[in-house]
């Protein structure tokens, strides 16, 4: 996966997060699954894949009133965790892609 594509998908995740907290409609849920699948199918590294799993779980909570109300009354804490995970995932992708471009030094 190219960095530009990862950034575009990150921006799409940010837009999805801005729709919460609250129930997601079918179109939003479908778009979210597509974005997550595209990231999973890309070569983004193990650390980013781990964060992607946390992001997917976070969205499930963010789009469920019953679940996000366990965090706080407004759901903003849950939303902040999802946004933070998206930021960390992007950083992991950047590091991973950069490491693939930089050859390891010979001893």
At 69 the pLDDT is 78
Report how far residue 3's alpha carbon sits from residue 51's, in angstroms, rounded to the nearest whole number.
Answer: 17
At 48 the pLDDT is 97
The rounded percent of the chain whose pLDDT value lies above 90 is 64
At 66 the pLDDT is 83
Q: Which residue, 59, 49, 54, 57, is CA-closest to 92?
A: 49
pLDDT tens string 43-87: 999 999 999 999 999 999 998 888 877 878 888 888 999 999 999
Q: Tell me if 76 sits within 8 A of 82, measured CB to CB.
A: no
Q: Tell me if 27 sits within 8 A of 79, measured CB to CB.
A: no
- Residue 39: pLDDT band (50, 70, 90) is very high
């Amino acid at each position: 996966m190219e960095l530009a594509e990862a950034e575009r998908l990150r921006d799409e995740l940010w837009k999805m997060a801005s729709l919460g907290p609250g129930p997601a409609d079918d179109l939003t849920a479908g778009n979210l699954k597509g974005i997550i699948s595209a990231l999973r199918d890309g070569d983004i590294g193990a650390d980013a894949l781990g964060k992607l799993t946390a992001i997917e779980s976070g969205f499930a909570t963010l789009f469920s009133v019953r679940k996000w109300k366990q965090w706080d009354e407004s759901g903003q804490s849950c939303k902040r965790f999802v946004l933070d995970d998206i930021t960390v995932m992007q950083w992991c992708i950047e590091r991973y892609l950069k490491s693939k471009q930089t050859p390891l030094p010979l001893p």
